[in-house]
Amino acid sequence: MAFHRKHLRLYLVTDRDLCAKLGLVETVMRAVAGGVTMVQLRDKTATTAQRTELAIALRHALRGTDVPLVINDDIDAAVAADADGAHIGQGDIDPAQARALLGRDKILGLSCESVEMVKAADAALVDYLGLGPVFGTATKADHAQPVGFDGLARMVAASSLPTVAIGGLKSDHIDSVRATNADGMAVVSAICGQSDPCAAARAFACAPSEYAR
């Protein structure tokens, strides 16, 4: 799937525990029906085989939706499941190695926690940057120091790549994220942790042009 910055507008990061009531695939598909534009499968406790199985189920469910699926910090699972790509952090696999394993036609995202990390990101290897955390969040206990919206704006300004804001974001933050010129926002509990993921996603709804540049 060809990647475009518009895919970052409403970026869903999964959480197995929060998705348990409806099941992960059903939660994701209801969220997509509500307006989610990209999905990251994140499950730090799963094995590669388990992530691969989940990714294959999600890939089949997402077929025909124009919603890319990337796998967090597991290049082997991304390749085995033929996902649209992967997302890595600063302490994960080196971006050059990740790109070599994924191939040129796949999406590769990289988390950045400072302006320095943003400037060091290689646009020849990486397709987009996840910037933050904007706020602290219980869904990622080992997160870095929150940067707030001022820090987010500085990182966006330093980036030549598409950017998505991450970390504790809710629908109330849409205008603040948009003001930083980020291309979109990533959410976890604001959708996965809700009884109606479709309605929760719709709460973030905005015209595509509002985030696309």
Q: What residues are labeled active site? A: 42, 111, 140
Rounded distance between C-alpha atoms, residue 14 and residue 184, angstroms: 17
Rounded distance between C-alpha atoms, residue 126 and residue 115, angstroms: 16
